[in-house]
């Protein structure tokens, strides 16, 4: 999770010392949906590099879509579903397995993008020093990356938002970073319970206007809608 002392700080110089003054417009909230049957043509998807330090980030003109979320929320599964690959992003049952920032080049239809898999936060079994190192890496990326166009925060549909998620959403909004919330693991609940939980989670966000989408990587549901949200901000 991003360091609490940094929340509320104004957007200033980026990780390279340059000012990031451009704010991204926020879209109105949309109702959660869960559909299947449509797809986006993926021409190519491959790992560009994995980075443990800020200076290792690739120099690329591709717009970047960052994926954030608690450990074991399903980031790797969602990434694989989006690019129609089984093992592009390695999945693991061990929370906190992702300890670096992974950059994936994705050529989809008419767009050439970079998907960015950020380390999961929460209950990773690592030392405090290592956790603080992750925090600095993630915070430095989010604050200083000019190529960043959209941050996608994943939330397990079965779990309530914690203070980590609400603080993160506020932190992103203060910096003008366009954000979507994607509710994952929708296939774990029956339809009526799924709809009820989506409504409950939307209510927990209060007056935050971040759009919420519902998905299931296993059932390939909500994937087309998420692609539509991604393409809309390019």
Q: Does domain 31-232 have CATH number 3.40.50.300?
A: yes
Residue 15 has pLDDT above 50, yes or no: no
| Angle 76-173-90 from CA coordinates, rounded to 5° | 5
Size of the chain, expressed as the number of residues it contains = 234
- The answer for residues whose C-beta is within 8 angstroms of residue 33's C-beta and 6 or more apart is 213, 214, 222, 225
User: Lowest-confidence range among 8-12, 91-95, 142-146, 148-152?
Assistant: 8-12
Please write the tens of the pLDDT for every residue from 109-132. Answer: 889 999 999 988 875 566 677 777
At 163 the pLDDT is 94
At 18 the pLDDT is 40
What's the rounded Cα separation, in Å, for the pair 179 and 217?
A: 20
At 128 the pLDDT is 73
pTM of the predicted model as reported, rounded to 2 decimal places:
0.81
At 129 the pLDDT is 73
Residue 100's Cα: distance from chain center in Å?
15
Please write the tens of the pLDDT for every residue from 169-217. Answer: 999 999 999 999 999 999 999 999 999 999 999 999 999 999 999 999 8
- Cα Dmax for the chain: 50
């Amino acid at each position: 999770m991003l360091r609490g002392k940094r929340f509320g700080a104004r957007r200033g110089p980026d990780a390279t010392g340059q000012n990031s003054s451009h704010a991204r417009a926020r879209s109105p909230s949309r109702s959660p949906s869960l559909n299947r049957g449509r797809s986006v043509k993926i021409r190519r998807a491959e790992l560009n590099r994995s980075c443990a330090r800020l200076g290792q980030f690739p120099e690329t003109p591709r717009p970047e879509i960052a994926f954030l979320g608690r450990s074991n929320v399903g980031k790797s599964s969602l990434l694989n579903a989006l690019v129609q690959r089984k093992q592009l992003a390695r999945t693991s049952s061990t929370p906190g397995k992702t300890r670096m920032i992974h950059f994936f080049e994705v050529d989809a239809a008419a767009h050439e993008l970079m998907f960015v898999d950020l380390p999961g936060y929460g209950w990773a079994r690592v030392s405090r020093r290592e956790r603080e190192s992750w925090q600095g890496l993630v915070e430095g990326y989010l604050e200083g990356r000019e190529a960043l166009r959209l941050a996608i925060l994943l939330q397990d549909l079965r779990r309530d938002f914690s203070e980590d998620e609400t603080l993160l959403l506020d932190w992103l909004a203060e910096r003008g970073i366009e954000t979507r919330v994607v509710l994952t693991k929708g296939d774990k609940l029956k339809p009526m319970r799924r709809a009820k939980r989506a409504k409950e989670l939307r209510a927990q966000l209060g007056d935050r206007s971040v759009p919420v989408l519902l998905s299931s990587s296993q059932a390939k549901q909500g994937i087309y809608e998420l692609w539509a949200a991604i393409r809309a901000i390019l």
